[in-house]
Amino acid sequence: MRTPGRAARPPAAPVKPDSAVIRDALGVGVAVGLSGFAFGVTSAGAGLGLLQTCALSLLVFTGASQFALVGALAAGGNPLTAAAGAFFLGARNAFYGLRLSTVLGYRAAVRPFAAHWVIDETSAVTLAQPDRRSARLGFTVTGLTLYVLWNLTTLLGALGAGALGDTDAWGLDAAGPAVFLALLAPMLKTAVERVAAGLAVVLVMVTLPLLPTGVPVLVSALAAPAVLLGQGWRGRTRDVVGAERPGTGPDGTGTPPSLPDGATDIHRTTGEDRA
């Protein structure tokens, strides 16, 4: 029985067991970390030395940018252009960081170190958690597992590149994007989210042949505000149309709008009032 005058407590957020968080984080970290082997092989095939390849994984630690850099170099591109493309592609991590800084709530002294692990996979695992404690656990386990495995498999890939022959035939670079899509799909729960994701894909496909490497990914970020603006415009249009229809509320339903005290609605005037 609730005590009169006391506000009801909001329902508690669901608690996710630590074992479930660790299991999910390890699954992502291991699956994507093993694809560092593909980067090591690709980097060696592009002409980078062992130290250069390992330094990229240690210091850059964002697979898409690393693949973009060595891919451009392998195609004979200018090193500065390749680096610029990798930079633009990695700029999305800054947007992840803005969101994760609020979710994780780390102290200022910890944030520079945590920022090095802000990538697609750690962001996906972190944002899927119901509370801050689980978010921190998921971020730490995913980041640590992925960082260690990514650098270890990069080293192995660079050392064993010569024994594999044609590395493109293995398709190892598809592991990272495949895991990211598997993480993203369950998060698209509403129609608005699915439309935004679909529009982002369209923007990437249209601009990919036209813009430098990495820029199409930034262009795809425009999908979210575009969908939100469209949703807001539809809502305002619905309100205007509903307000103009007699006996119809602003929401377009059959509930008529309320009238001020003393006002008379001619559509609801009785026969006695007309006499």
Q: Kindly list the averaged pLDDT for each block of 10 residues, start to end, along the chain of length 275.
A: 53 75 93 88 88 95 87 81 83 91 94 94 93 95 96 93 65 59 72 87 88 76 85 70 55 52 49 47
CA dihedral 98, 104, 109, 110 (to 10 degrees): -100
Name residues whose C-beta falls within 8 Å of residue 14's C-beta, 6 or more positions apart in sequence. Answer: 130
CB 36 within 8 A of CB 153: yes
Alpha carbon separation from 261 to 151, 249, 265, 271 (Å, rounded): 73, 18, 11, 21
This prediction's pTM? 0.63
CB 61 within 8 A of CB 116: yes
Helical axes 92-104 vs 120-127, angle rounded to 10°: 30
What is residue 27's predicted lDDT score, i.e. its pLDDT?
Answer: 92
CB 27 within 8 A of CB 33: no
Task: Round to the nearest angstrom and report the end-to-end CA distance of the chain.
Answer: 55
CB 197 within 8 A of CB 188: yes
Domain ranges of the chain: 18-187, 189-255
What is residue 214's predicted lDDT score, i.e. its pLDDT?
Answer: 64
The token duo for 38 is 């593909």
What is residue 204's predicted lDDT score, i.e. its pLDDT?
Answer: 85
What is residue 232's predicted lDDT score, i.e. its pLDDT?
Answer: 78
What is residue 175's predicted lDDT score, i.e. its pLDDT?
Answer: 56
What is residue 60's predicted lDDT score, i.e. its pLDDT?
Answer: 94
